[in-house]
Amino acid sequence: MARMTNLYDVSKCTACRGCQVACKDWNQLPAVIEPFTGNYQTHESTNGDTYTIIKFMEHEDPVDGIQWNFLKFNCMHCFDPACMDVCPQEAITQTEWGAVIKDYDKCIGCQYCTYACPFEIPKYRKREDIVTKCTLCYERVEEGLEPACARTCPTGALTFGERDQLLQVAEERVKFLRANGFPRATIYGKLELGGLNKLFVLTDTPDKFELPIDPKVPGQITFWQDWIQPYFGWLIPVALAGSAVSFVTTRILANKNGDHTEGGHE
């Protein structure tokens, strides 16, 4: 099955947050009310009951003046998900069309995935002691529907379909934007982290949308997951085996020497 993905075109987004509401509605997530922090953004980031948010960002451009950017922010459904690698319960899996999904019955709330994620998107839901994130509405998609967010988008900023086709659409859109007043327009998600199953058309460089320009799985995580965890534990069986060998040889040697007094030191 071909990869199915969401294409999010920033240049068409009006930040109406219909996707945020549709996501809450479909996933039956309670409202999370956070205090006002000075802009229109509803939540600081994704949280245990909020899988997707619209980020609002302002910055001052020396040429173009004040810029106000929106970004729909949620799980990127990486081709090679770090969260899936670190999960000790193998609760995270990937569907054949590219959605990275979690089995909440297996999740134990250890939050390794939160900190392995280059975007820190999975979040802890305290009341159930699990970590949650966007599922790309895999249960809808597998029934032939679109994700809730894509279905509800009134401006066509969110479209759902086969990734290869959407990539062509995105490339043409970027060409158009570059020729029409957005010279720094770019695609995000095509090559980042080896490919994301989530495509963005940005009107400016990714850092203007609080996205890492070159996202990487944190070094501490790869070091721990690829080296410490698989290759370091053998020291424990060595200690146990050494003790067992010593237990036998000390007693054999003591019998051989006919020596019943305690020798040596502890």
Partner 1 sequence: MQWIPEYKGDVPRVERFNFLSRFTHWGHTVTFLLCLFTGLALFLDSADWLAAIFGGFHGAGLVHRIAAVAMTIVVAIFVVGNFKVLIAWIKDILRFGLNDIIFIMKFPFEFLGFKVKIPPQTKFNGGEKGNSMLTPTAVIFLILSGYIMWFPAIFPAGLVRLAYPIHDISMVLATFMVCMHGYLGSFHPGSGESFWGMWKGTVREDWAEHHHKTWYDETYGDKASGE
Q: Footprint of partner 1 on this chain (CB under 8 A)?
A: 88-90, 108-112, 114-116, 120, 129, 218, 220-221, 223-224, 228-229, 232-233, 235-236, 238-240, 242-243, 245-247, 249-254, 257, 262-266
Q: How far is the CB of 48 from partner 1 (least distance, A)?
A: 12
Provide the minimum distance between the beta carbon of 98 and partner 1 in the complex, in angstroms, as a whole number.
Answer: 25
Nearest distance from C-beta of residue 102 to partner 1, angstroms: 15
Show Cβ contacts of residue 144 under 8 Å, excluding neighbours closer than 6 positions. none
Instruction: Report in angstroms how near the CB of residue 79 gets to partner 1 at its nearest.
Output: 22
CA–CA–CA angle 248, 249, 253 (5° rounding): 125
Pick between residue 191 and residue 238 the one whose CB is nearest to partner 1.
238
Listed in sequence order, the DSSP H helices in the chain are: 18-27, 82-86, 112-116, 138-141, 148-152, 163-179, 219-223, 229-231, 235-256
Q: Which is nearer to partner 1, 176 or 247 (CB)?
A: 247
Give exposure, 60-94, as e/b (b: 16+ Cβ within 10 Å): eeeeeeeeebbbbbbbbbbbebbbbbbbeeebbeb
Measured from the CB of residue 41, what is the shortest distance to partner 1 in angstroms? Answer: 19
Strands 158-162 and 4-9 come out as antiparallel
Instruction: Name the residue nearer to partner 1 (CB basis): 191 or 252.
Output: 252
CA atoms lying within 13 Å on the CB side of residue 88: 8
One-letter amino acid at 128 equals E
The nearer residue to partner 1, 67 or 220, going by C-beta atoms, is: 220
Q: Which is nearer to partner 1, 180 or 249 (CB)?
A: 249
The two structure tokens encoding residue 86: 């670190």
